Amino acid sequence: MANILEINNLTVHFPINIGTVRAVDDVSWQLREGEVMGLVGESGCGKSTLGFSILRLLRPPGEIVSGQMFFQGRDIVRMGEKELLGLRGRKIAMIFQDPLTSLNPLFRIDQHYLETMFTHDRHLKKEQALEKARSMLESLGISPDRLLEYPHQLSGGMRQRIMIGLALILNPQLLIADEPTTALDVIVEAQFLDLLAHLQKQFNLTIILITHNLGNVAQLADRITVMYGGNMAEMAEAGAIFANPMHPYTRGLLSSIPNIKLDQPKLQTMPGSPPDLVNPPPGCVFHPRCPRAMDICRTRKPPAVEKDGHLVACWLFS
């Protein structure tokens, strides 16, 4: 399958008063067209920063220091504002954790949809746009009548579905979903993930599903990337991540999910917390927490190598 996105050596910094946050450190990453890629790791690992970088929507003072991001042959890092406007929403869309902060309480749902469509196409006919919005709501399993309601009249799960419809209304090819289910209860979360799988097929989407919860991506993801401390730790087919996790960090994450059993030395809990990215540890960023750390891990950063179908950045496999 062709790659829709190719990221080469991306480094993103947040210069702050006490130093520089190295939020994404020399990350190379490829997405295949039509796949669901799970992006997992504990809070503070750089997942959202990577997601926002792809849309060039980093919050200040974030900056892309180096690297390339080829999307359909064009380098997003070097795009001007005009080209970025054509990219955002239209080709690449993003949804977030909390739909209430993204929906305007003063506007009805239909107004949200119309505004999104008119912003990108001023010549669109209103009736045509409304028809599109109605059919989108049907795809979302929501009665088109609800277009006339205000955000507060809808449940949390429904608002999140409305949000994903807004993200998809311009037919983007890539959807970045950043912790989209964190605000939902487990039943609604499961329904939302089902819907996402359905929409992925209907619209032939490529999806980056960002979550701190590996269990969330088990059903949906074709491949999984595990991120730690601004670095890629491991990437493989989803089944391979669960059946044969190689990086000690991946193993730690897995053993913190109930009902998943590992046959090797178990890390029941992972002691410690993600590193301070202003002063990251030398060598492998994971070494202070790693049960299998060796001397080399304290001084040299492990390169990502291919091993048994996984891409893994760990000296155990280099």
- Look-up of token digits 């196409």: 121
Position among 46, 248, 252, 283 found at the interface with ligand ADP (CB under 6 A): 46
Label the pairing between strands 19-32 and 3-16.
antiparallel
Q: Is 205 in the site for ligand ADP (CB under 6 A)?
A: no
Please choose which of ligand ADP, Mg ion, none residue 67 contacts, taking the beta carbon within 5 to 8 angstroms, the exact cut-off set by kind: none
Is 54 one of the binding residues for ligand ADP (CB under 6 A)?
no
Show the beta-strand stretches assigned E in 72-172.
74-75, 92-95
Omega of the bond prior to 265 within 30 degrees of 0, cis?
A: no
Rank residues 16 and 305 by Cβ distance to ligand ADP and give the closer one: 16
Using CB under 6 A, which residues numbered 62 to 121 contact ligand ADP? 62
Q: Which residues pair with 40 in a beta bridge?
A: 211, 226
Query: Which one, 40 or 168, has the nearer CB to ligand ADP?
Result: 40
45 binds ligand ADP (CB under 6 A): yes
C-beta neighbour count of 123 within 10 angstroms: 5
Vertex 156: Cα angle to 151 and 158 (nearest 5): 75
Task: State the binding string over 249-288 for ligand ADP (x if CB under 6 A, else -).
Answer: ----------------------------x-----------
CB of 227 to ligand ADP, least distance (A): 7
The answer to the question of residue 216 lying near ligand ADP (CB under 6 A) is no
Using the structure block, give the residue that is written with the tokens 């750390």.
293
Nearest distance from residue 62's CB to ligand ADP, in Å?
6
Site string for ligand ADP, 24-43 (x = CB under 6 A): -----------------x-x
Return the one option of ligand ADP, Mg ion, none that residue 71 interacts with (CB less than 5 to 8 A, by type): none
Orientation of helix 156-168 relative to helix 109-120, angle to 10°: 20
- Choosing from 38, 44, 89, 151, the residue that interacts with ligand ADP (CB under 6 A) is 44
Per CB under 6 A, 14 contacts ligand ADP: yes
Token match 């001397």: residue?
295
In which order are the strands placed within the sheet that holds 74-75?
A: 19-32, 3-16, 63-71, 74-75
- Residue 231 one-letter amino acid: N
* Nearest residue to 224 via CA among 207, 238, 210, 213: 238
Site residues for ligand ADP per CB under 6 A: 14, 16, 21, 23, 41, 43-49, 59, 62, 277
